[in-house]
């Protein structure tokens, strides 16, 4: 069967005339298949949506419609490329049991690692400004795109389940990694106490650095992208995922175990950027929670990568069998360094 057999219907549903030769694979997200469409007069992003991971596209549409209607874009000095509606006004288009969506293309540079502290500052400021732009929207209007997505307690229990049910032999290196994550119960307890104390906000929840587009010269942020998990959350989630992906000497896929540690200069830049973006809005308690965020988000990714490995790699895209285990090992090295920093 033609790989793009859905294209004629897609064109019809959006009133477009995209030819197969104008479509190419784009980006390196772990979840959806993303394509760039280059038409004569415009560029668009097409995504074939992963509805195994996000089983409720209707919830994502609900959340995105709130953003379209209520977000205070006047305070956003960058673009937020929300999906474009098809001819029926839907943000998703279902064809042959597959879900597609199209959004505006924003030019610029997407990176997996940041070179300079100034860029870390800009990224953190932008993600904080995003929270500020939604500060007036009651967080309970949003529905959970993935239930308990950033709930450390739930993810810990999912890891326990995975350990109980795994077909893999937990021995050697795997045993060491499993033991390390089981020892993080104190972070789970700390999570539960922050949860009882802090207000829920509109947060992005997946502020990995490649979910942001810089201008070509890195002088500013052009867009915040990957908006599927935009929903209610705590500000330390968004700060924390930045710490995890920016304030580290090696990226999430590195296997230079001895070199993986916190980059203090970038950490400090993230902190000032986030404070600057949320100035006058974030409460003292929220700002106090930020240093927990880095540890918490690194830990949760470790839990999730490890659980996925134990479950037989059903969630994340992998290129070889042990990749999820080694991703969990990478996060373990970073988490050790973050914990040491706070000690």
User: What residue ranges bind ligand GN1 (CB under 6 A)?
Assistant: 29-31, 53, 206, 208, 211, 226, 229, 252, 301
In whole angstroms, the minimum distance from the beta carbon of 304 to ligand GN1 comes to 7
The answer to whether residues 104 and 44 touch, using CB atoms and an 8 Å cutoff, is yes
Task: Report the partner that residue 30 touches, choosing among ligand GN1, Mg ion, none (CB closer than 5 to 8 A by kind).
Answer: ligand GN1
**Contact with Mg ion (CB under 5 A): which of 211, 289, 298, 311?**
211
Query: Burial level of 331, CB count in 10 A (0-12/13-18/19+)?
Result: buried
Task: Report the partner that residue 209 touches, choosing among ligand GN1, Mg ion, none (CB closer than 5 to 8 A by kind).
Answer: none
In whole angstroms, the minimum distance from the beta carbon of 301 to ligand GN1 comes to 5
Task: Report the partner that residue 87 touches, choosing among ligand GN1, Mg ion, none (CB closer than 5 to 8 A by kind).
Answer: none
Query: How would DSSP label each residue in 88-150?
Result: TS-SSEEETTEEEEEEE---SB--SS---HHHHHHHHHHHHHHHHHTTTS-GGGS--SSTTTT
The answer to whether residues 264 and 233 touch, using CB atoms and an 8 Å cutoff, is no
Residue pointed to by tokens 């050790």: 336
In whole angstroms, the minimum distance from the beta carbon of 226 to ligand GN1 comes to 5
Cα–Cα distance for residue pair 314/112, rounded to 1 Å: 23
Q: Which is nearer to Mg ion, 120 or 225 (CB)?
A: 225
Q: Is 29 an interacting residue with respect to Mg ion (CB under 5 A)? A: yes
Q: Is 228 an interacting residue with respect to Mg ion (CB under 5 A)? A: no
Q: Which is nearer to ligand GN1, 206 or 263 (CB)?
A: 206
What number of other Cβ atoms are within 10 A of residue 286's Cβ? 20
Give the range of 36-44, 88-96, 205-213, 240-248 binding Mg ion by CB under 5 A.
205-213
Q: Which is nearer to ligand GN1, 210 or 215 (CB)?
A: 210
For residue 160, what are its two tokens? 């326990």
Position with the least CB separation from Mg ion: 29
In whole angstroms, the minimum distance from the beta carbon of 225 to ligand GN1 comes to 9
Cα–Cα distance for residue pair 289/272, rounded to 1 Å: 14
Q: Which is nearer to ligand GN1, 18 or 177 (CB)?
A: 177
Q: Which is nearer to Mg ion, 73 or 112 (CB)?
A: 112
For residue 295, what are its two tokens? 């540890």
Cα–Cα distance for residue pair 101/94, rounded to 1 Å: 9
Q: Which is nearer to ligand GN1, 273 or 302 (CB)?
A: 302
Q: Which is nearer to ligand GN1, 18 or 302 (CB)?
A: 302
In the beta sheet, which residues pair with residue 224?
Answer: 212
Give the range of 50-58, 220-228, 271-279, 286-294 binding Mg ion by CB under 5 A.
220-228
Q: Which is nearer to Mg ion, 252 or 263 (CB)?
A: 252
Task: Report the partner that residue 308 touches, choosing among Mg ion, ligand GN1, none (CB closer than 5 to 8 A by kind).
Answer: none
Q: What are phi and psi of 102, to 5 degrees?
A: -125, 135
In whole angstroms, the minimum distance from the beta carbon of 27 to Mg ion comes to 7
From the centroid of its chain, how far is CA 214? 16
For residue 262, what are its two tokens? 């916190």
Task: Report the partner that residue 230 touches, choosing among ligand GN1, Mg ion, none (CB closer than 5 to 8 A by kind).
Answer: none
Q: In angstroms, what CA-CA distances link 245 with 8, 234, 297, 317, 330?
A: 39, 18, 10, 18, 11
Footprint on this chain of Mg ion (rule: CB under 5 A): 29, 211, 226
């Amino acid at each position: 069967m033609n790989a793009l057999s859905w294209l004629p219907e897609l064109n019809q549903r959006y009133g477009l005339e995209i030819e197969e030769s104008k479509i190419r694979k784009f980006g390196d997200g772990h979840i959806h298949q993303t394509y760039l469409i280059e038409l004569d007069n415009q560029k668009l992003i097409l995504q074939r949506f992963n509805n195994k991971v996000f089983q409720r596209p209707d919830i994502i549409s609900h959340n995105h419609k709130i953003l379209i209607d209520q977000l205070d874009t006047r305070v956003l000095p960058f673009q937020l490329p929300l999906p474009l509606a098809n001819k029926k006004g839907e943000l998703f288009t279902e064809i042959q049991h597959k879900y597609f969506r199209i959004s505006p293309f924003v030019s610029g540079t997407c990176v997996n690692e940041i070179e300079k502290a100034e860029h870390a500052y800009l990224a953190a400021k932008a993600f904080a400004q995003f929270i500020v732009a939604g500060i007036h929207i009651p967080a309970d209007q949003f529905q959970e795109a993935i239930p308990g997505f950033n709930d450390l307690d739930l993810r810990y229990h999912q890891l326990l389940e995975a350990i109980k049910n795994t077909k893999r032999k937990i021995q050697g290196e795997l045993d060491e990694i499993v033991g390390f994550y089981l020892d993080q119960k104190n972070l789970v307890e700390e999570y539960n106490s922050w949860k009882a104390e802090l207000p829920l906000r509109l947060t992005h929840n997946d502020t990995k650095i490649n979910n942001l587009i810089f201008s070509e010269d890195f002088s500013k942020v052009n867009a915040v992208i990957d908006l599927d998990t935009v929903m209610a959350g705590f500000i330390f989630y968004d700060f924390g995922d930045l710490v995890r992906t920016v304030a580290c000497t090696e990226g999430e896929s590195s296997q230079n175990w001895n070199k993986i540690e916190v980059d203090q200069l970038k950490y400090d830049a993230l902190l000032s950027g986030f404070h600057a973006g949320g100035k006058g809005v974030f409460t003292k308690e929220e700002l106090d929670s930020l240093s927990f965020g880095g540890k918490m988000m690194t830990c949760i990714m470790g839990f999730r990568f490890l659980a996925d490995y134990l479950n037989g790699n059903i969630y994340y895209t992998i290129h070889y069998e042990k990749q999820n285990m080694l991703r969990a090992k990478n996060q373990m090295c970073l988490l050790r360094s973050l914990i040491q920093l706070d000690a």
